[in-house]
Amino acid sequence: MKYLSFPLSALVILTGCQTISDNSTKQAPKNQIPEHIAQQIASPVDVSHALLADETADVIHPVEDVDIPLEDNIILDDGIWQRIRNQLVFQVPENRRVTVQRNWYAKHQAYLDRVAKRAEPFMHFIVQEIEAAGIPMDIALLPIVESAFDPFAYSHGRASGMWQFVPGTGTRFGMKQNWWYDGRRDVVASTKGAIKYLKYLHKFFDGNWMHALAAYNSGEGRVQRAIRNNKKRNKPTDFWSLDLPRETRAYVPKLLALADLVKRPKEFKLSLYKIADKPVISVVDIGSQLDLAKAAELANLTLKELQHLNPGFNRWATDPKGPHYLVLPDNKVSAFKSGLNKLSKKERLAWQRYKIKRGDSLGIIANRFNTDIGVIKQVNNIRGTQIREGKHLLIPVAAKSLDKYILSSEQRLAKKQNYPRGSEKLTHIVKSGDTFWDLSRAYGVNYRKLAAWNGMAPRDALRIGQKLVIWRKSKVTTAATPSSDAIVRNITYRVRKGDSFARIANKFNVTIKEIERWNNLSRKKYLQPGQKLKLAIDITKAI
């Protein structure tokens, strides 16, 4: 589900280290870095390492795996794999593109075990949804190709979730996305959306599943153009004959290779990790917004376990406007429902009475309490945006400190931003007009790295007031170097009569070299009155 356009250098990193291409059968080098470290790496320079930790899916895994406390089941035969095996329908050709992928998977038992363990809570649900939709059971294996069955996985093409939807396609197929919630990571919503999208693509390509799968990876327009080009040249238009991106040419063979291994694992000396052929999770209606920490307590789960089962929720509570459900292990449902029924509506969230101060706005108050304006207005029956000094508001707040919600969007970002990538960490507060490109030049760093350090893609829009981190390899020991607690602002300074590089540098506590770099100037040239200079200053130190 990733429609990507990488520069050549990024493609070299991605394909050279990860994708099993048609032109190479080399194994990924072993023991590159420990898995727990690789999972936290997100900079494009280090993407190759993170991919090696995953070994086949071109995604980043921002959180560690969690063992979900499921029922102890006696698993007969191959459990869910036998059910899948009985319904596989795709013909698997014996060609080199499939063979290369199949050989790689067959030689990596530990990788397949790790992926199957991630899939265990969700596999039975996915199989049932695919059966109900009447589409090929082979598609139950697609999350292995897309994300290695990680609902928190993301790619630098802004794709997210187990089924790897980009924002636009996610919205198009029913996945709500807002400050509170991202349905692309919700296993229930994204599975239903993926099935809808695949059925649409199957119809779009006149019943050709190979074309539909290729389009799921690179977009229907790209596959359609490849088909048209072949028709113009009187060439075959089957998937294997199309001129498609390298990633897509490997994508469909990966799925077919996995289906073949599930069909006959013993022939390849594989032992499939056993998953029970019975429901192990339930979707529980909660009726209205609920603090996730309270939900975890009611279900006798750790907060991390609850968040891993419900990765769609970005914050400390469920979305006040829904979806109003939680995914829970079947063996926890009864106790959870009993406890939830005893809670009053006000006990579902923690509350704080706040007295409005001079200068306050709904936006300022919402940011202060890590909630959104809509929630405050709804709770306090506010219709417009006007509030009065001295009046009181009732504010819903997190039951625990925010750092306890370790898989929330904010905590995942904080972990990414704080992961050391140099000896010097700077902080920049985004102002109007800032771009990754301009900031990268101002701070002397790569703009793709800068975006990745902050969990974004290089083309993503920056928000005024957004906090960015910048890492430098070596610390510059000058008075002008902002500390990690600095309040950095980009300003435009108009040169005045009598100004010089040295005078401006002293005035704003920066160096002449920095002024030269930020403005692509040389100190050998005279500054002209009225000339505009870009400066990145720490306002806590500026004179």
Catalytic residues, which ones? 146
Phi, then psi, of 3 in degrees rounded to 5: -95, 90
Beta-carbon-side half-sphere exposure of residue 8 (alpha carbons within 13 Å):
0
Q: Residue 250 CA to chain centroid, in angstroms? A: 22
Q: Which of 366, 390, 360 is nearest to 378 (CA)?
A: 366
Phi, then psi, of 304 in degrees rounded to 5: -65, -40
> What is the rounded distance in angstroms from the CA atom of residue 521 to the CA atom of residue 471?
24
Sign of the CA dihedral with 505 first, then 510, 516, and 518 last:
negative
Tell me how crowded residue 423 is: count the other CB atoms within 10 A of its CB.
11
Cis status of the peptide bond prior to 253, with omega within 30 of 0: no
Q: Which of 542, 536, 480 is nearest to 511 (CA)?
A: 480
Beta-carbon-side half-sphere exposure of residue 386 (alpha carbons within 13 Å):
1
Instruction: Write the secondary structure of 241-309 as one string of H (helix), E (strand) and C (coil).
Output: HCCCCHHHHHHHHHHHHHHHHHHCHHHHCCCCCCCCCCCCEEEEECCCCCEHHHHHHHHCCCHHHHHHH
Phi, then psi, of 489 in degrees rounded to 5: -130, 140
Each as own residue / partner, the long-range contacts of residues 99-103 (CB below 8 Å, 24 or more positions apart, any chain) are: 99/257, 100/20, 100/22, 100/25, 100/253, 101/20, 101/250, 101/253, 101/254, 101/256, 101/257, 102/257, 102/260, 102/261, 102/268, 103/25
> What is the rounded distance in angstroms from the CA atom of residue 371 to the CA atom of residue 316?
9
DSSP SS3 for 535: strand
**Cα 354 to Cα 137, 341, 398, distances in angstroms:** 54, 29, 15
DSSP-assigned states of every residue in 428-458: EE--TT--HHHHHHHHTS-HHHHHHHTT--T
